[in-house]
Amino acid sequence: MNEFAAIRTIGSTAISTPPGPDALRSFLRDHTAESHARLDNRFGAFAGPRTVESYRRFVAMNLLAHRALSAFFTDARVSAATPLQTSVRTNLMHLEADRAAMDLDCATACEFFVETLGAAEIAGLTYVLDGSRLGARFIHRRLEKAGALDSQGGEASARFLRSAFDRDGAGPHGIETPGADVETKERALAAALATFALFERCLDRIVAHEVGKEPSR
């Protein structure tokens, strides 16, 4: 049997992943679907009277997550800048500007850690952050429809959201690891799940901060 035909993931049953150029992306999508849906469901449709409130929480969550990722890259002493590091730094700059513009009172920092930072882990991290970029584009359209964007005279500062359109026409980068074996896919998956968990912890911290009781890191 081809090694890509059936992969047993950490703590799960085998899921078929066909070979091909998108094999790793498909593998990650299949095995992170539950984490993705759980996070999405906590925000809802970004519609109605609480749209801006949800957006402020979205910005705060992303800000904490990107601060944690930026700190991790610094602590990991990565010798050469990767497209992912550049993206994290740029996103963080936009998020800090949005925080200042909306005068967000942010929660204390979260932490992020993966034991190894190689091509597989970069692929897993990039997969999640690429998905976040697509989510930002969706939210931008919802806020625009509601007339809530700062460019429309609204209160939603959207530098981070607007930056999600900067790569229009560019394909995903950093995801595929040609000839990825089972171990590489498992490592990429572990990093992707750790990244989803980071976003969830950040959202937990934001919600707790709003009621004056933050959880431990």
CATH number at residue 96: 1.20.910.10
**Residue 33 domain-assigned (yes or no):** yes
Residue listed under structure tokens 């992170």: 32
pLDDT at residue 48 in the model: 76
pLDDT per position as a tens digit, 162-190? 999 886 544 445 565 656 788 999 999 99
Range of the domain at 192: 20-210
Residue type, 151: S
Question: Looking at the domain assignment, is residue 130 inside a domain?
Answer: yes
Examine residue 94 and state whether it is found in any structural domain, yes or no: yes
Asked if residue 68 is part of any domain, the answer here is: yes
Nearest to 200 by CA among 139, 134, 128: 128
Q: How many domains, in total, are found in the chain?
A: 1
CA pair distance 199, 62, nearest whole angstrom: 7
Q: Is the pTM of this model over 0.85?
A: no
Q: For 51, what's the count of Cα atoms within 13 Å in the CB-facing half-sphere?
A: 20
Structure tokens at 162: 């607007």
Q: Give dist(CA 172, CA 175) in Å, integer.
A: 7
Three-state DSSP at 5 gives coil
**Residue 3 included in any domain:** no
pLDDT digits over 36-93, tens only?
999 988 887 677 778 888 999 999 999 999 999 999 998 876 655 678 888 999 999 9
Domain-located, residue 10: no
15 assigned to some structural domain: no
Give the three-state DSSP class for 103: coil
